[in-house]
Every structure is written in C-alpha cells, then in structure tokens.
Homo-oligomer: A and B are copies of this chain.
Amino acid sequence: MPEPLTTDPIAEARRQWEEHGWHDAAGGMAAVTAIMRTQQILLSRIEGVLKHFGLTFARYELLTLLSFTRSGALPMAKASARLQVHPTSVTNAVDRLERAGLVRRMGHPTDGRTTLVEITAEGRQTVLSATTELNAAVFTDPGFTPNELDELNTMLGRYRRGAGDFIDHEATPGA
C-alpha cells in the first residue's frame, strides 16, 4: 500500500465539486464516497480475520445464515434471497464450502428441483470460532461510538427500506 495521504481526498473532491458550482450534489457525493471508502476499510479488517479460517465474507455470511436455521439447511434460492446475492454467487460459495467440508448439498425431500445446503458439524465449529474472533476484533469496537452505531443503524435501515431492500412492517433496526 502507498504512503499515507496528508489530506482527506474526499474533502478535497468536495471542494472541487463546490468550485465547479455543483453545490446541490457536493454533500451527497462526499457522503456516498465516504460510505464506499468506509466499506472498503471494514471489509479489509473483516477479511483479515476470516482469512485465518479459510473464509471470505460472502462464505462466512452463508455459514452464519445456515447456522441460524432450525434444521441447519436451506434451499439455494432461499439463501440467495436472504443474502441478497446472485444465484450463481451462491452456487460458487457452496462449491467452495462443500470442498472444505463446511456444508453439504442434499436433495429436497418433496421438490426434485431444489437443492438444500446443510451446514456440517465442522461448519458449525468453524463459524462459531470465526464469529468469536470477529466479534472481538471488529464488531465489539468497530471504531464508532455507541451513539454513532445507533445513528448508523437507524439511518441506514431507513435508507435500505427506502431503496426497496425489504418490505418491513414498521420495525426500526436502531436502538
């Protein structure tokens, strides 16, 4: 990685936006770019931890989802919908996880078309260890104050709902 910058590149971009007269868009541009960059930093921290377990964030999320299920199994399409990723991404993730022995493919008992993904005992063990380390290394102190976390959860929850990410009754994620 390169040397540290001596000035905030996003603040600098915002200044340029203002100079070009794009006042209405400057704040939005800065916030959107900041979200992009923050995601990058967080993802890099997370994947640094998950690497120890041979997992990527996408595969970790799939394992976590399965581990929270009563039966430990889910149809591929359900996993795709819940994780909000493309079906081929699930196929790919399951391929890798299956090769690692963390999940297993099974036929559906009544619908011959659907494939069930089931987490294995080893998968449960792995996701538990990974979560423990992730919680300690990132989630317990992600770099925001408790107050900021509440604001983020409220604000982004509202944003995601507005973007059609989910149809919710009225529950507010924050607090």
Contacts and interface: CB of A to CB of B under 8 A. Distances in A.
Interface of A: 1-11, 13-14, 16, 22, 24-32, 34-43, 46, 57, 64, 68, 77, 80-84, 86-87, 131, 134-135, 138-144, 146, 148-153, 155-157, 159-168, 171, 173
B11 A173 contact: yes
B149 A27 contact: yes
A160 B45 CA distance: 13
B37 A35 contact: no
A43 B32 CA distance: 9
B24 A140 contact: yes
A169 to B, nearest CB: 8
State the oligomeric state as a number of copies.
Answer: 2
Given A35-B35, A139-B29, A8 B82 contact: no
A35 B151 contact: no
B135 A81 contact: no
A134 B28 CA distance: 11
Contacts of A141: 28
A82 B8 CA distance: 9
A139 B25 contact: yes
Contacts of A11: 157, 168, 171, 173
Contacts of A46: 32
Given A28-B142, A156-B35, A159-B143, A165 B7 contact: no
A39 B39 contact: yes
Contacts of A171: 8, 11
6 contacts: A4-B166, A22-B139, A27-B146, A28-B139, A32-B42, A34-B152
A32 B168 contact: no
